[in-house]
């Protein structure tokens, strides 16, 4: 068993009529890419792993004005191997001006004995839009997880939006009620873009409010984005919670107010489907989750882009003062 190094690349370009064309689709086994729609690519794992010592890199380059959706056919099972070094998966993605990227692979499962490093570097242009979901499962059913360290760096026009590390399988964090509690998996979805920018004239001592559900929260970031974070006892529950959070986040975040909104205060989403391993390759309506990619279809949404004002209707009670304070400098 020898360590594998692979470099795969997806690159779009703008075609005539505002369409997106896949300019490059370079597979490098075990990272195999298949085009499954006009703007959709599936990662198809060929071969087991990654295993310790493997180094896999995926580059994603979404050209200005284009859009791309990246999914995977199945979960990634990270396995132990003979090498002393951890397996490494690096995803570098650039999303150009006015471009849109939807990235939602199936979960990464950290099998017992593995040592895995996941590095995501996501660079967004000022008005790029992204939906990025990551799910990590702590071992196969009934086993203790291997060790994992995921690092997620997101910048918008070079400014930091989100920098996070997640450590799994370390003594200090395992079973800590401060970190994962008794959850068996953790996930997050970043939804970012100009429609999620904070108000131009914020109340400096108050933040936008989160939407909180059972085991999940949609957290408005300091910059133009919302992160849904969720914990779950299994991958199905995790996905369901993330979906609920994603739906809450698709509505622009509640304005500053006395407290977070409980999820019961927002319309309950339709019962989520169980994670579908491979959606059919049609060009028909966006698959579940992508709805969050577009700004909410409310009357104010169109102007929201320009004015950075928030879409109306999501205002919580008792915050009229903060609202009016934002209308003008």
Binding site for another protein (CB under 8 A): 90, 92, 119, 121, 123, 151-155, 157-167, 170, 172-173, 175-181, 183, 186, 188, 204-210, 212, 215-217, 219-223, 227, 229-231, 258-260, 262, 318, 321
Least gap, CB of 326 to another protein (angstroms): 13
Residue 241 phi, psi dihedral angles, 5° rounding = -65, -40
Q: Smallest distance from the beta carbon of 15 to another protein, in angstroms?
A: 26
Give the nearest distance from C-beta 308 to another protein in angstroms: 17
Per-residue tokens: 302: 């169109």
* Cβ pair 213, 263 in contact under 8 A: yes
For 26-31, the CB contacts below 8 A with 24+ separation are: 30/4, 30/6, 30/56, 31/6, 31/7, 31/56, 31/58
Closer CB to another protein, 160 or 277, in the complex: 160
Rg over CA atoms, the chain: 20
| Between 25 and 167, CB nearer to another protein | 167
CA–CA gap between residue 211 and residue 116 (Å, rounded): 32
Q: State which residue, 26 or 159, has the beta carbon closest to another protein.
A: 159
Sequence-separated (6 or more) residues with CB below 8 Å from residue 205? none
Work out how close the CB of 239 gets to another protein at its nearest, in angstroms, rounded to a whole number.
15
- Minimum separation from the CB atom of position 71 to another protein (A): 24
Residue 105 to residue 22: CA distance in whole angstroms: 19
Return the structure tokens found at 152. Answer: 């997620």
């Amino acid at each position: 068993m020898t360590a594998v190094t692979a470099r795969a690349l997806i690159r779009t370009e703008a075609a005539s009529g505002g369409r997106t064309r896949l300019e490059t689709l370079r597979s490098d086994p075990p990272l195999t890419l298949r085009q499954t729609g006009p703007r959709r690519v599936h990662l198809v794992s060929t071969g087991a792993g990654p295993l310790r010592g493997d180094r896999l890199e995926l580059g994603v380059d979404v050209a200005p004005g284009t859009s791309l959706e990246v999914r995977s056919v199945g979960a990634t099972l990270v396995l132990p191997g003979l090498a002393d070094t951890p397996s490494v998966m690096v995803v570098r993605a650039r999303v150009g001006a006015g471009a849109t990227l939807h990235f939602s692979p199936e979960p990464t499962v950290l099998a017992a004995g593995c040592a895995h490093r996941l590095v995501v570097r996501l660079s967004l242009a000022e008005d790029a839009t992204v939906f990025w979901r990551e799910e990590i499962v702590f071992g196969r059913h009934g086993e203790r997880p291997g060790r994992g360290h995921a690092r997620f760096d997101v910048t918008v026009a070079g400014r930091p939006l989100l920098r996070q590390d997640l450590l799994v399988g370390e003594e200090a964090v395992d079973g800590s009620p401060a970190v994962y509690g008794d959850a068996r998996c953790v996930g997050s979805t970043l939804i970012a873009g100009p429609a999620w920018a904070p108000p131009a004239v914020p109340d400096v001592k108050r933040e936008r409010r989160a939407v909180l559900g059972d085991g999940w929260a949609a957290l408005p970031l300091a910059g133009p984005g919302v992160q849904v974070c969720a914990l779950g006892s299994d991958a199905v529950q995790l996905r369901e919670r993330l979906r609920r959070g994603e739906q809450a986040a698709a509505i622009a975040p509640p304005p500053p107010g006395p407290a977070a909104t409980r999820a019961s205060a927002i319309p309950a989403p339709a019962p989520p489907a169980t994670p579908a391993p491979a959606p059919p390759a049609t060009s028909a309506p966006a698959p579940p989750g992508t709805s969050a990619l577009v700004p909410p279809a409310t009357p104010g949404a169109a102007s929201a882009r320009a004015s950075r004002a928030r879409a109306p209707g999501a205002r919580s009670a008792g915050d009229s003062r903060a609202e009016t304070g934002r209308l003008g400098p």
